[in-house]
Structure 1
Amino acid sequence: MTGEGPGGEPADDLLAGPRGRRLLSALVGEGSDAEPWAWSAHEDDLGLPGLAPLPDPLRTELRERLRRAVSTLDLDALRARSDPRDLLTAFADSVAAARYWQDPDPEDRALADPELVEVLRPVARAVAAGPAARWWSDPVDVTAQQHLWWRFEGRDGYRPIVTGSPGAAAAAWRGWRTAVDAEEERWRTEFPRHTLGRCSGTWWSTPPDRPELPSSTPVLPGGLGVGMTLIEDEMGIEEVDARALRLRDGLRVHEVHDAADWCALVAAHPRSVTFTRRHDWWLATGWDGAWALPDWASVAREWDGVHLSARGYLAVSGRVLETAVPGNVVGADTDGVRPGPARTLLAGWNPGVTHWLTDAVTEVEPPVRWRSLEDRYPLEWAPSRA
């Protein structure tokens, strides 16, 4: 397992990532006595194409509104929060606002402005110093992992997880590589540059979630899986089966706590995703150069799993990062792709989730069905034996 936790300053990580900044903004909205600063009133201004800088008058107005709101916060009380659930509402709001397949959310766009980032700094320091956020930096706990199976119309049965079948994961990776190579070539030939932004395809960065390659989520006090509450692109599904996993000893897990951890994985195991991702990610980020992600089949030869901590999610998800991978190495030297090093984007990977890349699961316990409580989805759930 790589280390026991991240280095660097947690407050800086919160301010660096769009999801971290959005969480801080939500906390300001929860705790401020000042006049709420209504993003919706500026949606037309903030929805400018091309992710251009905010106009100066708008930047000044938003900065001053935010400054007044932050000045009324009780930062000592925020720092003293001790229950992890005390920050879940703001965290869930930030996660639910993520979108990697279209133009940025107006509030996310505004919060990327450096002047607004600095106004949020005292809030970031208070949150990062408090005990309620301590678990955000935890490495994966292999003794408390759940696999979640969302239930909705037409999906009543539970998909089994493959256990006790050595080599099943390796076989799955052989088929995966063939499929993703074919997908990348199809997008290169069928969707040239002049169609940029006019079509949508694969926009996520995660490994495949298959019976041989399951994902898992940590558990908060009371048995609530983090993945039930912190959900990107959630669709209001109010019932889930959670199964505790037992994992084999000695697993090698790559921890992603910050941008350096993610970029190191991409650099060590690069795979071109320029043509499959460029349409969606250009809309979301404005970058029309080469894109690279980890080659998960290659990663599986070095690591049994990859864990994205809550802190890593807040620092990295949705953030365009330059890699050490030359664009032409990942096959982006054609079709008008902007030259230079490839960028990478972590998208569609929920906080705290670990993706298992080898035959890691030894046993799956019977499911516990959880139902969300009325009007409290996704923050409160009640368990019942399935």
Structure 2
Amino acid sequence: MYWQPPHDLDAALGSGEWRTRLQDTAEAIAASPVTSWWTSPIDLDDQHLVQFLDGDSPQWEHKPTLTGLRTAVDGLSLEHSGELYGSGTADGPAAGKWLDGTWWSAADMAAGGVAVDWKMVSGAWWSAPITRPGVSTARSIGQPPLPTGLVFVEDSFGWTSATSWQVSATREVRVLELGAPEDWMNLVRRYPLEVTATTKRGDWWRTTGRDGSWAMPDWPLVAEDWDAVHLSVAGYLTTAGRALPVDEGTATVLAGWPPDATFWLADVLRVAGGPTPWRRDTDTNVWSRA
């Protein structure tokens, strides 16, 4: 997870005999024909948007908002550089932290005489172009087809109901492919946004153990050249959660981006099918049509 140190189990599995065993297993899985699609680019003919439901009614329908995406993306530079959180510095980023079960903003802490320590604050730990409104889609797999967005979830809230919609592009689209760590590093190098003086410094330090300058893509600039960005499963497995070098003193982390997910930066989509209701069996953790 991108906002806390690795668990003891994570550390144990990443070293010694267990690391060797997992490496052998990973190589066998990667060589299997079943996972050959993990390196494939976006499938524009098979894209599904998943809406998770807070209630217990899989029949609930809410047609997705597919417009206003570029306008929402244009606000991401301010959001991730910290300006929307208030003023912050490399030694005291703004936003806030949890204290005794209550979220304190930077202003609250200052007013209450609480010292702001960048190692303690937490906030927008993700570097994916997550917006409101926003659209992320992925393909379906298996028979009967199951949208991978149902099971490839970075930060699950334990949903048991969902609705999916098939979407398609209204015109030819420019899709940037992320299939390896180098693709993400090159994206940040081409469209850099400095985020050291934000809550990402504390969050990414906790999860990677690295302290120093941090950067991520400046998504409004990316959106000038690309309509969407797709992260393959292989790209996710080799890139997500790692402190990757951008230059001699700066690193980046790909965070909050599920495998095979495509984030859309322009208003180029339409609903092509659906809605399809889904229900998750809490005993088996398997999704099926409701």
- Assess same fold via TM > 0.5: yes
Give the root-mean-square deviation of aligned CA atoms.
2.5
1:175 aligned residue (55, 61, 75): 75
Q: TM-score, normalised by structure 2?
A: 0.82
- 1:289 aligned onto 2:241: no
Letter in 2 for 1:183: L
Taking structure 1 as reference, are residues 223 and 153 closer, same or farther at Cα in structure 2, changes over 3 Å only?
same
State the secondary structure of the residue aligned to 1:366.
strand
- 1:358 shift after superposition: 1.1
Residue 130 of structure 2 corresponds to residue 224 of structure 1:
no
For the pair 1:134 / 2:36, whether they are aligned, the reply is yes
Structure 2 residue 174 is the aligned partner of structure 1 residue 255? no
Larger Rg: 1
Give the percent of matched residue pairs that are identical in Structure 1 and Structure 2.
34
> Partner letter of residue 162 of structure 1?
L
Query: Following TM superposition, by how much is the alpha carbon of 1:184 offset from its aligned partner in structure 2, in angstroms?
Result: 6.5
Q: Verify the 8 A CA contact 1:184 1:275 in the aligned structure 2.
A: no
- TM-superposed deviation, 1:292: 0.6
Match of 1:215 in 2: 136
Secondary structure of 2:224 counterpart: coil
1:160 matched to 2:64: yes
Return the alpha-carbon distance in structure 2 between the equivalents of residues 123 and 170 of structure 1.
Answer: 41
- Trace 1:91-110 onto structure 2 (pairs within 5 A): 99-110=1-12
User: Aligned partner of 2:231: which letter?
Assistant: L
Question: Are residue 353 (structure 1) and residue 255 (structure 2) matched?
Answer: no
- CA gap of 1:123–1:153, structure 2 versus 1, over 3 A, is closer
Give secondary structure in 2 for the equivalent of 1:187: coil
Q: Quick one: which of 24, 27, 35 aligns to 1:122?
A: 24
- Cα distance in 2 between the residues matched to 1:267 and 1:201: 24
| TM-score (normalizing by structure 1) | 0.63
In structure 2, C-alpha distance between the alignment counterparts of 1:288 and 1:189, rounded to whole Å? 11
Question: Could you tell which deviates more after superposition, 280-289 or 183-192?
Answer: 183-192
Query: Which of these residues, 49, 52, 68, is aligned with residue 147 of structure 1?
Result: 49
Q: Secondary structure at the match of 1:160?
A: coil
- 2:237 aligned with 1:299: no
Contact 1:317 / 1:346 at 8 angstroms: preserved in 2? yes
Return closer, same or farther for 1:171/1:125 CA change in 2, 3 Å cut-off: closer
Q: Is the Cα contact below 8 Å between 1:216 and 1:355 reproduced in 2?
A: yes
Contiguous gaps of at least 5 residues in structure 1: 1-98, 325-339
Partner residue in 1 for 2:125: 203
Q: CA shift at 1:157, angstroms?
A: 6.3
- Please state if 1:266 is matched with 2:188: yes
User: What is the letter of the counterpart of residue 216 of structure 1?
Assistant: T
1:317 aligned residue:
240
Q: How far does residue 249 in structure 1 lie from its aligned partner after superposition?
A: 3.5
In the TM superposition, residue 223 of structure 1 has moved relative to its aligned partner by 2.2
Say which structure, 1 or 2, has more relative contact order (CA 8 Å, 6+ apart).
Answer: 2
Unaligned regions of 5+ residues in structure 2, if any? 94-114
Cα distance per residue 1:122-141 (max 9 Å; x no partner): 33332221112112111110
| Partner Cα separation in structure 1 for residue 71 and residue 153 of structure 2 | 30
Shift, 1:177, TM fit: 3.2
